[in-house]
Amino acid sequence: MSATVTVGLDGSPESRAAAEWAAREALLRALPLKIVCVREPAPRFVAQPLLFDPEAYQQWVERLAHESAEGIRLRHPGITVITEQPTGTVADVLNEAAGFAELLVLGSQGLGGLGGFVVGSVSLAVVARAERPVVLVRAAEQAADEHRTAQAGVPSAEAPFRPVVLGLDIDHADDTLLEFAFDAAARRKAALRVVHAWPEPPASRGRRGAAELHDSLERGQAALLSKSLRPWRQKFPDVEVIEASRCGSASQVVVDDARDASLVVVGRRIRTGSFGTHIGHVTHAALHHIAVPVAVVAHG
C-alpha cells in the first residue's frame, strides 16, 4: 500500500483546518491525501439517540467526504485525494489509519481554560498510541500563518516559511525524531531551530562560584547538542540549523521558542505494556500551549 498523508475529518472547524494543512503537506511530500470520515455506530454528537436516523447520518458522512475532497482538489491543483468512510470507534479507526500513513493529521480546538488549547480525548488517545507521526492543527490555522510576513508587512503564503522548531532531549536523541525534523525543514526550505533545555543544579544557587559553574554547564550542554546534530548537518547540508541550548524547564523553553515557528516537532517514547495516555510532559505542554501545528513523532 502506498504511503499517504491522512487526515481525520468530522466536519468541525478544527478538522477542516487540519484537512487544509494536510493537503499542503501532501503537496510538499508529493503524496496522495487520504480523507478519513469515520462512521460511528453511536455518534458522539447525538444528544437524543432515539431521534438518530442512521440513513441520514450515512448520507451526511458521504457528503462531507465528497464535498471536502472536491474543495481541496479545486484549491490545490494537482493533488490526488482519496476518501474513506470506515465504521468504528473514532480513536481506533484513526489509530489504524495512522499505521498505513506517512503521517496522520488531526484537528485541535481553540483556547480553553487559562489560555491553553483544548485537545480532545480522541486526539490524545491517537497521539498516545500511534507509532507514526501525528500532527495536530488548530481551528484557526491558515496557510499564511506558516510564512514570514511579506515586504508589505502582511502575512503571505508566498513569503519564506518560518523556522521549524525541534524540541530535543540530547540524552535520547532518536534518529526517527531528528530525521522527521530535518526533512520537514528541508521540504520547506526553512531554518531548523533545535531547542535543548537543561536544568540548573539546585546546589549552585546563591553559592560562590555559581556564575562560573553555570557558564561551564552552558558550554558543556551546547557542545553536547552540537555533537548530536553534527551527522544530521552533514546529511542535510542545505538546512540552516540554529542551535539553542537553554537553562530552564524543557516544557517552557519549547513553548517559548515555538512562537515564531511554522511547525513544532516533539517526540513521544513508545511504551510497551503501559496503560492510559502517556505522552510525556514536554509533548503534553506543546499540545496544550503551542498555537502552531505540532508534530508528535513516536520513537523507541
* pLDDT-wise least confident of 3-17, 41-55, 93-107: 41-55
- pLDDT given for residue 153 in this prediction: 72
Please state, in angstroms and as integers, the Cα–Cα distance from residue 153 to each residue in 181, 196, 238, 257, 260, following that order: 28, 31, 27, 22, 15
**Which amino acid would we find at residue 281?**
H
Residue type, 79: I
With a cut of 60, say whether residue 213 has pLDDT above it.
yes
CA-to-CA separations, 261 to 8, 15, 218, 232, in angstroms, rounded: 24, 21, 24, 20
All three cell numbers of 233, joined, read 548537518
**Kind of pairing between the strands at 33-36 and 81-84:** parallel
Query: Given a cut of 70, is residue 71 above it in pLDDT?
Result: yes
Per cent of the chain over pLDDT 70 is 87
Residue 112: exposure state from Cβ atoms within 10 A (0-12, 13-18, ≥19): exposed
The string of pLDDT tens digits covering residues 136-176 is 999 889 999 999 987 777 778 889 999 999 999 998 889 99
DSSP string, 151-197: TTSSB-TTSPBPPEEEE--GGG--HHHHHHHHHHHHHHT--EEEEEE
Query: For position 211, what pLDDT does the model report?
Result: 77
| b/e burial code for range 271-289 (CB count within 10 A of at least 16 → b) | eeeeeeeebbebbbbbbbb
User: Is residue 275 pLDDT above 80, yes or no?
Assistant: no
Q: 247-274, pLDDT tens digit by residue? A: 999 999 999 999 999 999 999 988 765 5
